[in-house]
Each structure stands twice: as C-alpha cells, then as structure tokens.
Structure 1
Amino acid sequence: MVIIAGAGPTGLALACGLRQYGVDVRVVDAADRPATTSRALGVQPRGAEVLYRLGALGDLPDKAIRLDALRLNGVQRLDLRPMAGAGALIASQTWVEARLRDRLSALGVEVEWGTPISEVPVSDDDWLVGCDGAHSAVRKMAGISFDGEAVMENFLLRDVHARWDLDRSSVHIYINDGGLTAIFPLPGDDLWRVMSPDGRWAPGEIDAVDWESTFRIHKRLASTYRRGNVFLAGDAAHIHSPLGGQGMNTGLGDAENLAWKLALVVQGRASEKLLDTYEAERRPIAAAVLGSTTPATRISMGSGRVQRLLRDLVVFPALSLPPVQRLIIGFASQLGVKYSGPLAVGKHGGERMPAFARTGKWVLAGPSTCLEVARDRLGDVVHHERAGDTLLVRPDGHMAWRGPSERFSAWLNEVLGVPETPRLTTRS
C-alpha cells in the first residue's frame, strides 16, 4: 500500500498516477474539506502535459486563460506566445484539484478528509509519501531537514472583482513610488489576482474582494527526498517564490516521476535501487527553480535602491530582447528539462521526446524481439517497429535508452535490478 499525505495537486497527481498502474493507494489529508481558495494559479506546458497523461485535464487549454504577454506599466515587454505546448495558462489550483479528485474517484479512490497522518497506521511494508506542504508532518516525522531562508516578508495576495480596462491575456506589472504590483486575469467575469509586497495599490476601483491573504516568501529545499520507505514531493520537498508560476508544475513533475518508478517496485518489476533515481532526477530541478526565482524576486520587488536601479534600468528593459525572451520562456515552460543517470542513456538520453509527450506509457521503438523483454520488466508497452538502434521512451516522455537491440535486455536488468521480493498483487 502507498499512503499519500496531502490532497493538493502533488498528492492527487501521485495517487492518480499510481492507480493508473493498478497500485493500491490511500490519500489522507488533515483538513476537514477541500480548499476553496488557492495561491497557485499558473500551469506551464510541462504541468499541462502531466495532467493530460493522467487523464485529468485534457481540456485544460480550452478552460484556462492563455497568457500572451507580460506588460510593464501598460507596455508589452515579454511576448509569451512562442511558448511551446499548451502555453502559459492561468487556472485556479482549486479547480485543478477538483478535476484531479474526479479522476481519482473514477480510479476507485476517495480522499479521506480530517485524517492527520499521525493517526494513520503505517506498517513496514507500506510506502509513505509526504505531499503535505511546506509544514509537512511527514517530513518532520522522518527527521528530514528543510534548510533555507525568508526571501520577502508580508506578501499580499487578493482575488478581486474589478472592471479595469486591461488586456485579459496579459500579466500586468506596475511600478510606482518604488513599489511593485502584479495583476493576473483569473477565469471568471472581471476577476483578477493582485499581488503586492507592500500595499493595496490597484489600477482602478475594486468592486469586491473575494479573498485575500498575507504570507512570507521562503526558499527552502529538503536535505533528502527519501528516508527508507518515506518520500517527499511538492511543497513538502521544496518551496520558493511564486514568480514564474513554477511551484505547482514542479510538484506535478515530482509526482509523475515518483509514480511510475514506485509502481515498478511495488509490482515487483524492479528493485528498490530504482527509487534512488527519484531524488537524483528531481532535486536538481527544484534547486534550479530556487536558484533562479529567488534573485529574480529580490530584484523585481526592488527592496533596495541598488536593486531598484538594476531592475528599472537593466532587467526590465532586457525583457524585450529576443535572446532573453527565449531564455525565460524555455525555463518557465520546463519543457527543456533533461535528466541524466541510468535512465537517460545514449543519444538524446534524458531529453523530452515531443512525439511521445502525450502517450503516458512506455514506448519501445525497435525490433519485436525486444518487446517481450520490455513487457515482462515494464508492463504495458507501446511498440513501434524500427530498424537500427532500439529506443525506449519513459512514461513521462523522456528518452530512457538508445542503443543496439542486443544490449537492451542487459541494460534493463542493470537499471531495474533484481526485485528483492516476489511480485505483489495490485488492484486493476
């Protein structure tokens, strides 16, 4: 049994992913009911792909707001239209969670609300995954440190109704009196998210406030993602500035990465050493997000005179430069993520394969002689006959292996290892 603490996007995505492989899961959450408000609202192309592969939000691009630009004091500075995939989308975290709960219910599992993980018996044969946020009880129970620092104090979020004459396909940033306010369109009539570190400035009259919250921005990274049979994912493993909308997407990536690896182990197709690749692949992604969003936040918010000068005279003007735009768009989309290690071997090893990005299954491109071996070790495999090198693409759309077909079986045995226990029965 895999026990998941936390029914946010990461925990729900992990549960859906495991259930698609037939693995028994239990999802518990200390809250009495689903959240009705959300801080996260950005879904980048990588996150949209994960949700599509889970069968949860295939219609997301049609339901969300696609951002075309970032505007600074009314002037377009960053063109977001070239972003690949679904583009930069605005969708409420609560809506994403609701759709994931619907998908999980269809897969036979309901969230157990009002159930703290401390009240759940966990045996030595169970796997426990902490997807329970920045104050993770699972992380504390496992004794895993969460080192970092505060980046900014008293950051204010508000969801407001207002009839502003603003383009609803753009993010709007206003700088005035040394302060900065960011405004995002939200799905719904005249609904906006207003973010400001130091006040309640708005570009016009506000008709009503749906919700507001003050919080501190931290950057923190768990010292390890695994301790024995305990794993961390999402905000339980990493937190950072909301700048760039990377939080929910990074958590979704964690969930998908862990799901197919843990499924192979639970099903007895792989040894536990495969699970070491989860941290090896995902922790550097989070570290890179922390390393980029923290200085970008401090400069953008202009907490000091030097930072404001750097922001106003160098950083913001540079946003209009094509090379800078390509760099920002590539990083924000997370489509350029490349893994290294034993599951990223050969030419293009570890790279995302766009042709298979929506498949959601193992894909073998090679002779049929390799297919029986692949299905025995991996389960469901999509096969394409191919001459030359044999290719194996992971369920997350990344190239796992490329090489001569006669080496395929040996590589699979090497990377998956010999299972320590007989195959366990899982529910379909």
Structure 2
Amino acid sequence: MTEQARETTSGLDAEVLVIGAGPVGLTTANILGQAGVKTLVVEKLASIIDYPRAIGIDDESLRTLQTAGLTGEVQKHITPYHWMRFYTASGKCFASIEPRTDEFGWSRRNAFIQPEVDQILYEGLQRYAQVQVLFGQNVCTVSQGAQGVALEVENAQGEKRTLRARYLVACDGGNSLIRRTLNVAFEGRTKPNQWIVVDVRNDPLGTPHIGMHCDPERPYVSAALPHGIRRFEFMVMPGETEEELFKPEAMARLMSKVVADPDKVDYIRKRVYTHNARLAATFRVQRIFLAGDAAHIMPVWQGQGYNSGMRDASNLAWKLALVVQGKAGDALLDSYTEERRDHARSMIHLSEVAGDIFAPESATAAKVRDTVMLAMNAVPPVKQYFAEMRFKPMPRYEKGLVLHASPSGAPSALGGLLTRSGDTPLGRLLGLVAEKKESFVGRLLNGFESVEPSPVGRMFIQPQVTTEDGATHKLDDVIGLRFAILAWGTDPTCGMAPEVRAFWERTGVRFLCVKPLGQMSRSAMAPPHVTLLQDTQGRIKDWFGAQKKAVVFIRPDRFVAAMASPQEVDAVSHQLARLMAQPVEA
C-alpha cells in the first residue's frame, strides 16, 4: 500500500464496508481479504441464512470461488454436469440442455446446496485477520463525502454506532435500503403468476438432473440436488392463496402429481414467491456500489440470479483492492457499471424468455411452442446449440478496462428485426439467438456471415498446465489474484521498457510464457521473473491459433483486457495504465 493510501485510511473502521452477508457480500469480502484489504461485513440477521434458495451454480461462479481459494470445500456440495430437460404435457422431451464443456475449468451447469456453500464462504473469512463480520446490525442511515462513507447501525440492544470506510458495497437484497436511500431507479416488471417452491429430503424420485414439465394444467419443475435433496416448483393457479396451499390436504394434492405417496415426503421448507425482473439505473453512486439483488433481480428459469451476483463480486472486488492500495485510480471503478449492467440486462432478458417458453400465457401458444421446438430439436446443429448452452449470453465487455482493436459489429439486421417484430417468446428467443453471430444458428439466421469474435472483453480459458517442477495445475491456480501477461512460446517482457515492467510489477503481475509439449527443457531461455508453463492439453495453442496476436493481457477476474504482438506490449501497457487511471511513470 502506498503512503497516500495509508494516510487516507487512517482512522477508518475499514477500507471497504460490505452490507449483507449473503453469497455476494461474502464472496466480495473473501476476495478483498485475499488482496489484504481491511474489510467489514455488516449483516442485519443474527447469522447467515441456512435455508435453500438458489440451486444452480455455473462455471463462472466456480471460477470465482476458485480465485477465493474455496473450491476444494465447495466441490463436496455440487453435482457437476447438471442437465435441464423440457417436457411437453404428454411427457415428450422437446429440448435438452446438456453442456459437457469445461473451457473455463469447471462444468458449465452444476446443482449445489447454497446454505453449505454460504457457510464455506463465511468460514473462509476466518483466514483473514483484516476481515470482520458484524451480525445483528440494522442500518439506520448512510452518507458519503469526498473522503469516505459513514454508516450508522443499531444492534438488538438499541445501541447505535457509526462505521466509516473509503467505499461501501451494498449487497442488501432486492429491497435494498441503500439503493432506495440513493434514489436509484429500479425498473422492470413482475410476472402476474406466483410459484410455490417445495424442498424435500430423502429424494422420493432419485432421478438426476432437472425436469421442466410444461403441463398446461399446472406447470412444474423437478430438480435433483446434492445430498438426496429435491426441489419441486409448482405454478400457483388463479384463486389459490398461500394459506390454502400450505394446508396438508392441498400440499398432498400438489405432491401427488409427482410422487407415489405424498404422505411420505420429508419437507425442508415450503414458500410462495413471485418472479420479478428489475435492473438498477446505475451500479455506482460516488463511493457506494450496488451488487447482487440490490443491483438486479431476475426470474429463476436459467438459474442466473445467484450467478449474476457472483459476477458482480468478481468484477468489483479486485478493482476496489487496487484502488484502496493506491495501485489504480478511482476512475477505474466507473468500469464496474460499464461492464456489468449491460450483461445483467441480457441475463434478465434470457430468464424472461425461458420463463415465457416454459409457461406461456395460453394453450395455443403452448402448442405452437411444442411444435416449433420439436422441429428445431430435429436439426442436429440446432439441437447441439441448445444442448451446449450456447444461447447463454456470455459476458463481453465493450467498455471499461478493455482495449478493442476496432468497434464491435452492430447487432444483425435479422436479429434486430426479430427482436422488434413480435413480443412473443419464440420471437424473442430467435432474436436473442440471431444476434449471437459466433454461433452456428447465428450465422444461419444471418446468411452464414463469417465473424471471428475478438477475445478482448471475454473470459480467458482455463486449461490444465504443467509447471517446471512437473506438477499439473489449473491455470488460475498458477496466476492467483493478479494480472497476468501471457505469451505463446516467447518471453512477454522481451523488449519491455523498464518503466513499463515496473508498472506491472507494482500491480503484482505474473509474466507467463507457455510452451508446447516437450519444450520445457529449454527453460534456461526464460529470465527468472517469467514463469514457464507447458500447454498440457494443447488448448492454449488452439486458442492462440485463432488469434492474430501472441500476447494476451489477462485481468484478475480472468477477462482479456487486451491483445498485442511482442513489439506492441509497451504501447498497449501505456493504454491500459491510462484506463486504470495510473499512468506509467517514466
């Protein structure tokens, strides 16, 4: 930490205050703790929530937990390669999502037990003396100024105190007091129908995966979870009330739809909820940031509410760490809204489309859906497109801490036309697909345009690599929570100006040279500050084979900040330094 940073944080309770000890707040605090940032988590409840909520965790979130050093414990509570299948009323499968890829180092779709993972996140904070959690603290007021944020809290005994920090991250849920205090708009829509969720122990079905049963009489979901737990979700029909549904006889009627003996069901909990789709107008107001449900909420149909919050934590925490440590300027934090808000909007849209397809508003729409989806499922490339979850909008940052060689292409004319032409589930789905030009279906709908997507602004792959001692690791475990400048077959610092190298070393960068199989014996060619890796699976070679540049700048959240040829490394470094509001010192 620089002297200026020490002076600024003197007298503060923390450098960063985190409101809310849910998964987003706990993940943010773990990453900040790993970076050595003094952090204080404030939670209104007496302990973390111990009942199930989210049930799906994706590869990006597991990669974030890997960065936090917690996946060893988390893996005990997940089921990898968790498929989702859609069934017609007659029981015919019309779509199956079966992703088998692991380009980011983990299975793309996974079932998990959230309370177990939340507990791991909470216990993970005990690794850091500079991170504390205060339970039973109600937030009374919040204010901010040029030097920091002041938060007044009150405990169960009515005792009040004021906590001060340089920055505050509000992870206080969809009804966020912080967001409302800041008068940040939270716009969207609420679906008119409700759903009842039922979690049970001793799985009465025992089948794997998730079934989305599009029964026009009462659509329902059946999801297998780890440790013999199963979740059922049933649509609440017009005229039904929560009080009536929770009566034993009504619950037995519901469960008789899915189990042989509803009287032998071991219930964990039952809850009625409404699907909301909301997005905050901004994720930053001066020194306060919104994350997780405080920034966006979405229907559950693609399991992206939890995962979108984890993306927030992954994007924001390392930036806050760099700024409070004096390694980047405050302007870097503007990139949080620039990078995360558009993708959160895309995930809300995808979740709404999936919900509309699962539970259309009329029987006629359901018949059209079944006919069209069965026909599309009969085309192998289309079936593969859905099976591999290529429809999922992966984050691609157009603005923020990224250097694009040229402006990205505008959405296709057909995609825009389909999106505008009819507000129907099928029309929105086709519009979403058509705008993904890198997909087979996207090229099909766009006249087979050949568009090679730039890797800049996208997440870098995570293959297995072998270090000089012969050990094999996932790539992220070699990099750690830092920038990486990775070159294929060459020294990424060759020809790098001393001041540029000094700039990157101040951030804690790792310089990496990746060699093909069998070439590690030439390790004497690499200087001591460059880590040599062997491309164990050949995936890094394949990745660079699709690029025109041989050096990649990887951010701490594993997104590609820029590409360069060896002779362009200095120029690109200067541009990235300016985006970090920390110019290279001559």
TM exceeds 0.5? Answer: yes
User: For the structure 1 residues 88 and 370, does the alpha-carbon distance in structure 2 shift closer, same or farther, using more than 3 Å as the test?
Assistant: farther
Secondary structure of the residue aligned to 1:111 is strand
Task: Name the counterpart of 1:186.
Answer: 225
The Cα of 1:88 is off from its aligned counterpart by 1.2
The Cα of 1:67 is off from its aligned counterpart by 4.0
- TM-score using structure 2 length: 0.66
Cα-to-partner distance string for 1:225-247 (whole Å, 9 max, x where unaligned): 01111110111100011111111
Distance 2:361 2:341 in 1: 29
- The question of whether the paired residues in 2 share the 8 Å contact of 1:29 and 1:112 is answered with yes
Q: Residue type of the partner of 1:413?
A: A
After superposition, residues 11-410 of structure 1 pair within 5 angstroms as 11-71=25-85, 72=87, 73=91, 75=93, 77-84=95-102, 85-108=106-129, 109-118=131-140, 124-125=147-148, 126-161=166-201, 164-168=204-208, 170-189=209-228, 191-198=229-236, 200-201=254-255, 202-204=257-259, 205-206=261-262, 207-315=265-373, 318=376, 321=379, 322-327=381-386, 329-331=388-390, 336-345=394-403, 346=405, 348-355=455-462, 356=475, 359=479, 360-365=481-486, 366-367=492-493, 369=496, 373=500, 376=503, 379-385=507-513, 390-403=551-564, 404-410=568-574
Unaligned runs of 5+ in 1: 420-428
- TM-score using structure 1 length: 0.88
Q: Residue type of the partner of 1:29?
A: E
Distance 2:193 2:501 in 1: 52
- The question of whether the paired residues in 1 share the 8 Å contact of 2:44 and 2:136 is answered with yes
- The question of whether the paired residues in 1 share the 8 Å contact of 2:99 and 2:389 is answered with no
Secondary structure of the residue aligned to 2:41 is strand
- The question of whether the paired residues in 1 share the 8 Å contact of 2:21 and 2:41 is answered with yes
- The question of whether the paired residues in 1 share the 8 Å contact of 2:54 and 2:306 is answered with yes
- Percent identity, please: 25
Cα-to-partner distance string for 1:64-118 (whole Å, 9 max, x where unaligned): 1224433423748415142433231111221121111111121232421111232
After TM superposition, the structure 1 stretch with the greater mean CA deviation from structure 2, 267-276 or 129-138, is: 267-276
- The question of whether the paired residues in 1 share the 8 Å contact of 2:27 and 2:310 is answered with yes
Task: Name the counterpart of 1:425.
Answer: none
The Cα of 1:51 is off from its aligned counterpart by 0.9
Cα-to-partner distance string for 1:162-186 (whole Å, 9 max, x where unaligned): 5544522x21233435321111112
Larger Rg: 2
Q: Residue type of the partner of 2:191?
A: V
Task: Name the counterpart of 2:536.
Answer: none
User: For the structure 1 residues 412 and 175, does the alpha-carbon distance in structure 2 shift closer, same or farther, using more than 3 Å as the test?
Assistant: closer
Higher RCO (C-alpha under 8 Å, 6+ residues apart):
1
The Cα of 1:332 is off from its aligned counterpart by 7.1
After TM superposition, the structure 1 stretch with the greater mean CA deviation from structure 2, 99-108 or 111-120, is: 111-120
Distance 1:286 1:137 in 2: 20
Q: Residue type of the partner of 2:456?
A: G
User: For the structure 1 residues 275 and 120, does the alpha-carbon distance in structure 2 shift closer, same or farther, using more than 3 Å as the test?
Assistant: closer
- The question of whether the paired residues in 2 share the 8 Å contact of 1:352 and 1:397 is answered with yes
Cα-to-partner distance string for 1:203-237 (whole Å, 9 max, x where unaligned): 11242211011111100000110111111011110
User: For the structure 1 residues 285 and 136, does the alpha-carbon distance in structure 2 shift closer, same or farther, using more than 3 Å as the test?
Assistant: same
Secondary structure of the residue aligned to 1:302 is coil
User: For the structure 1 residues 284 and 324, does the alpha-carbon distance in structure 2 shift closer, same or farther, using more than 3 Å as the test?
Assistant: farther
